Chain A
Amino acid sequence: MKSAVVVFPGINRDNDMAHALEVVSGTPAHMVWHADTELPDVDVVVVPGGFSYGDYLRCGAIAARAPIMDAVRRHAARGGFVLGVCNGFQILTEAGLLPGVLMRNASLKFVCKLVHLRVENANTAFSSAYAAGSVFRTPVAHGEGNYFADDDTVKRLEGEGRVVFRYVDAEGNRGTDGNPNGAINDIAGILNDAGNVLGMMPHPENLVEPIQGGTDGRGIFESVLAAVA
């Protein structure tokens, strides 16, 4: 699997992401600077987490207008895979590649902890390595992860199986304390309509090796690896 990680000023999870991509796929990722206008020939482009442009204006708003994003849009339009994690998810919504927006956490607090995700749709390029309905752990670290979209958009996402991951508690239940940010319908990760762009707030790249405390996050990368094979 050939991959690229897009690097913006203020991004800080780029190396974690590149490491995870290499650990799972065996191939080092290309690091692509935001001012570049072309991507290398890759199967998957990852927009990693961090605080691009210091979260000025709105999280991800300025990064979404960076020169490289036109190349990311072209890659997505060709059917190439795009994964956005945390700030990357915010950037993809601001870039119009995913619907909705990530708002300030309902608690108004930055949340940094392990959460549980339930696989709502295992029939996607990003989740096929998990069993449908299974629950896995991932870390979250964000102040603006409160997913919001208008009613019609949420209905469409739910109806089309595009809510791929949902926050739940350790037992897989909703409505308890599993949702760390107030996201509508406990939405943690969504897919675009073509099924090749996924955005999620949690950080699967930080749980791919036993030394990190578990390998729950590997499934995301293994799924994409299988999809491009």
Chain B
Amino acid sequence: MKARIIVTLKTGVLDPQGKAIEGALKSFGLAGIDGVRQGKCFELEVAETDPAAARAKLTEACEKLLANTVIENYHIDLA
């Protein structure tokens, strides 16, 4: 089963990279794009065929390694 995990910064955590990207977008004259926040996306394959079991395994992966839950949230999408 394929899965995609999105890791994003929690609200309130300063994201200097996001701000710099937003500044670069504005410098192209692309107005009307605000609140840019940079995150990470992981694409992976899970041997598990049961969605609930796969989700449990990926949750453990996020909690243990893929996200730093001090500053990041994660979202798991199963294909």
A104 to B13, CA, bound (A): 12
Kindly list chain A residues whose C-beta atoms are within 8 Å of the C-beta of B17.
104, 108
Check if A111 is an interface residue, CB within 8 A of chain B.
no
A65 CB contact (under 8 Å) in B20, B64, B70, B71: B64
| A120 contacts the other chain (CB 8 A) | no
Chain B 25-53 against A: per-residue CB contact (8 Å), 1 yes, 0 no? 00000000000000000000000000000
Q: Main secondary structure on chain B at its contact with chain A?
A: helix
Asked if A150 contacts B70 (CB within 8 A), the reply is yes
Residues of A close to B64: CB separation below 8 A: 65
B65 near A: Cβ within 8 Å? yes
How many angstroms between the C-alpha atoms of A149 and B68 in the bound complex?
Answer: 12
What 1/0 mask marks residues of chain B from 57 to 79 whose CB sits below 8 Å from any chain A CB?
00000001110101100000000
Contacts of B13 in A (CB 8 A): 103, 148
Task: Report chain A residues within 8 Å CB of B65.
Answer: 57, 61-62, 65
> In the complex, A58 Cα to B38 Cα: how many Å?
14
Identify the 5 closest CB pairs spanning chains A and B, nearest first: A101-B70, A101-B71, A106-B16, A108-B16, A104-B16
